[in-house]
Structure 1
Amino acid sequence: MVQMPGLVLPSYYLYYSSPVKIVETSDGGARVWRVSIDTGGWQEENDLFTEIVFDIGGEVFRQSPEDFVQEVERFRAHYLQGEGPVFALYETVQALRDAAEAQGRSLSPKEQALIRGIRKRTFVMFEEQLRAAGDPGADPEVAAGDAA
């Protein structure tokens, strides 16, 4: 992987509506991880490095860690189906959104905050499950705001 002075890692992006993160390797290089549309886990896609970092693809948007967590969970909730606490919380978020839409209104600030809190929690839960299953890209600490 190419080393670039001035590139602060980890860094977070939306790449064609897909959450992607670039993290530092132990040897000072970088790895690119993209959320899998099939599993919600992390797929290593280092071939995207140049396109993302140099923004030559067009649909590349840098994100804060907080916004990245929200996008990852929005992505997972949209594409994945399953059972258990994480999926029950995804359904709760969708129910809040559906209720507001049925009433012809935007989400209230309280509802928006609730959804952000739920997504932060589901991110940690999902990432902890991935880590326990051996996914090398899993990183629940991103949601703690420690990673910038």
Structure 2
Amino acid sequence: MVRMPGLVLPSYYLYYQSPVKIVQTPDGGARVWRVAIDTGGWREENDLFDEIVFDVGGDVFRRSPEEFVQEVERFRAHYLEGEGPIFALYETVQAIRDVAKAEDRHLTTKERALIHGIRKRTFVMFEEQLRVAGDLGADPDIARAE
């Protein structure tokens, strides 16, 4: 990790319900990546740096790497549609949540752990696909480092 005055990189945030990460560039600067609502990939949005780091806006919440992975997958599952193993796992998570809701109860400890594990796995799967496709913001290692 790189230390900058008051900022440790990488750092992870929820910015107006959208996952954002700030990572170090090779030259010692910083790059801001935000999850794209239409693809689930990463968009470089460096103009958000000051607003996020200095909490200029309003709806900015710092997240641990573990929380960030969960937020990213919650976001992707909510906004994206598709086919294949990742989307089947998103549907599995939703089915678990739907059963608890239908039974008017909170998720059990086992259900929460299962959802957490599924989201961690889908994060790695999605990020690996993005990396293969050339997405410069892709980083499956975030989930592996937990």
User: Which one-letter code corresponds to 2:98 in the other structure?
Assistant: D
Aligned to 2:49: 49
Which ranges in structure 2 are unaligned for 5 or more consecutive residues?
none
Deviation at 1:144, TM superposition (A): 1.3
Structure 1 position 145, deviation (Å): 2.1
Cα distance in 1 between the residues matched to 2:4 and 2:71: 26
Q: Which amino acid aligns with 2:51?
A: E
1:93-145 Cα shifts (integer Å, max 9, x gaps): 00000000000100000000000000000000000000000000000000012
Higher strand share: 2
Give, in whole Å, the separation in 2 of the partners of 1:72 and 1:106.
22
Report the TM-score when normalising by structure 2: 0.96
Number of residues paired by the alignment?
Answer: 144
Where does 1:1-148 land on structure 2 (aligned, <5 Å)? Answer: 4-145=4-145
Moved over 4 A (4+): none
Q: 97-106 vs 3-12, which deviates more?
A: 3-12
Amino acid across the alignment from 2:32: V
Whole-angstrom distance in 1 between the partners of 2:4 and 2:110: 42
How far apart, in 2, do the equivalents of 1:107 and 1:44 lie? 35
TM-score norm. by structure 1 comes to: 0.95
CA distance in 2 between counterparts of 1:72 and 1:145 reads 16
- The residue identity in structure 2 corresponding to 1:73 is E
Aligned-residue offset at 1:90 = 0.1
| d(CA) in 1 for partners of 2:78, 2:100 | 18
State the alpha-carbon separation in 2 of the partners of residues 98 and 7 from structure 1. Answer: 39
Unaligned runs of 5+ in 1: none
Instruction: Determine the C-alpha separation between the residues in 1 that align with 2:108 and 2:7.
Output: 37
Output the CA distance in 2 between the equivalents of 1:118 and 1:145. 16
Identity %: 79
Measured after TM superposition, the shift of residue 4 of structure 1 is 4.3
User: What displacement does 1:91 show?
Assistant: 0.1
